[in-house]
Amino acid sequence: MRSFVRIADTALKWGTLLMTGSFLACILVQIYARLFLTTAPSWTEEAARLFFVLAIAFAAGPALKRDYYVYFDFVYDKLGMTWQRRLTVAIDALTVLLFVLFLYHAVSFTIMGFAERSPSLQFPMAIAFGGMVVLALSVLLYAVDRLLKHLSVNKPAA
């Protein structure tokens, strides 16, 4: 599992960088066109939106891995170590459950997107909706990894 997580981590980092760079490139084309051309291309806004969604999807899992999400520590810090561990395991288990449900519905939504086309770029909307599948899989991967780590640490000694 560890080597798979490492490979996924690298792929998600590169996906985030590529999508963020593509988002910035679309924005720069839009700015240039509005300043120096008579009309701006209509596809840049839609492409920028797609790249933004995909950048967030690729970055969501690594953000969970590195604890970049907001925490409300004022209650957590007042608990004893045993209750902190229990709460951490419960949060990780609930995160796994949430993203299993999220993944199920994201896949259904993506499949429906094959019947639709994007307005200006004319690609299947399943590509855009697929960002939610990427987000669900990336968060689910790191949530399962965290849960397994916490459960292996909390095993009683035999």
- Across the chain, which has 158 residues, the per-10-residue mean pLDDT values are 87 96 96 90 90 95 87 84 91 95 96 89 89 95 92 65
Contacts of 87 (CB under 8 A, 6+ apart): 76, 79
Spatial CA neighbour of 93 closest among 154, 60, 140, 58? 140
Say if residues 111 and 126 touch (Cβ distance below 8 Å): yes
Distance CA 103, CA 128 (A): 15
Residue 155: predicted pLDDT? 62
- Give the position of tokens 């899992």: 61
Dihedral class, residue 124 (left if φ above 0, else alpha if ψ from -120 to 50, else beta)? beta
Q: Looking at this protein, which amino acid is placed at residue 120?
A: S
CA distance 26 to 32: 10
Q: Are 49 and 123 in contact (CB under 8 A)?
A: no
Please tell me the pTM assigned to this model.
Answer: 0.84
Secondary structure (DSSP) of 17-51: HHHHHHHHHHHHHHHHHHHHSSS--THHHHHHHHH
For the chain, the domains span 2-153
Three-state DSSP at 119 gives coil
Q: What is the pLDDT of residue 74?
A: 84
